[in-house]
Amino acid sequence: MQYSTGVLTGGLFGLNSICKASLSQAAGAVLGAAKATKGVDTSRPLIGMTSFGKTVMTFMVALKPALEQRGYDVAVFHPTGMGGRAFEDLAGQGRFSCVLDLATQEVGNHLFGSSLSAGADRLTNAGLNGIPQIIAPGCHDLVDVPGWAPLSDRWEGYNSHAHNRLLSSIALTNEDRIRVAHSHAEKMNMARGKTAFVMPMGGYHEWDRFGAPLHNPEGPKIFAAALRSKLSDSVEWHETQSHINDAVFCDIVLNIFDRWFVT
């Protein structure tokens, strides 16, 4: 089934053409009515976006309808391993007109050996295929691990957040964040198309806001400095003092998008 990976995007911020096609194919198989399947609607260009749920990130609440009003279909991927693999697979197929890769946590998941990895090629396929990409480091400072399993000795002394019974998030140290920043730069430097990076100095998820349990006031400055030290000049740098869930962040993303696509 060519678009079977699209089912992973269903149920998170609404349906899109990929998951509609996948779900209709599954229903057709169950009912034995292959003629009832719905093909992928290609009448609107498709944007791939990464985001976590609204308890962690809220930018998609504004960005998704804004992009749809501009005539685009938006597929939102939940980047906890399988979602990132689906996102990268479709980017590798050239299915997206643009990607808004705004939650790049899986880069660190893979780097630190989490079982919730999307693979070594995370944050590469859109760039290698020349697909314009707007990137932000949403949740890059966290590594997700199964919440039902005992924590590895590797994480002794680290702060953590129990998201639910299935998932816990480990807060990386400032030294760890430098490794993650360098990995981001290496991957973005491979891009063959337009690439912009938006750095929200106010934080990357709801748990790191001022007063929140994972707040680290030095973390953004350390990550930004490490990233810029390795980042190619071909990558646009956009820095804001806002938080990733603030309206200012969405305005910056849309301004970049409009400059690239809206004449």
Condensed to tens digits (0 to 9), the pLDDT of residues 96-128 reads 999 999 999 999 999 999 999 999 999 999 999
CA distance 239 to 249: 9
Structure tokens that stand for 240 in this block: 């804001």
pTM of the model: 0.85
CA distance 99 to 136: 11
3-state secondary structure at position 112: coil
- pLDDT at residue 37 tops 70: no
CATH number of 44-261: 3.40.50.12030
**36 — pLDDT class (breaks 50, 70, 90):** low
Summarised one tens digit per residue, pLDDT across range 170-193 is 999 999 999 999 999 999 999 999
Please state, in angstroms and as integers, the Cα–Cα distance from residue 140 to each residue in 38, 53, 207, following that order.
36, 15, 12
CA distance 204 to 223: 11
pLDDT at 3: 45
90, amino acid identity: L
Which of 24, 182, 1 has the alpha carbon at shortest distance from 89?
A: 1
pLDDT at 33: 55
Phi/psi for 161 (5° steps) reads -130, 125
pLDDT at 2: 45
Which of 115, 106, 176, 108 has the alpha carbon at shortest distance from 149?
A: 115
pLDDT at 51: 97
Half-sphere exposure in the Cβ direction for 167 (13 Å, CA) = 12
Ramachandran quadrant class, 194 (left: phi over 0; alpha: psi -120 to 50; beta: rest): beta
Torsion sign over Cα 93, 97, 13, 123: positive
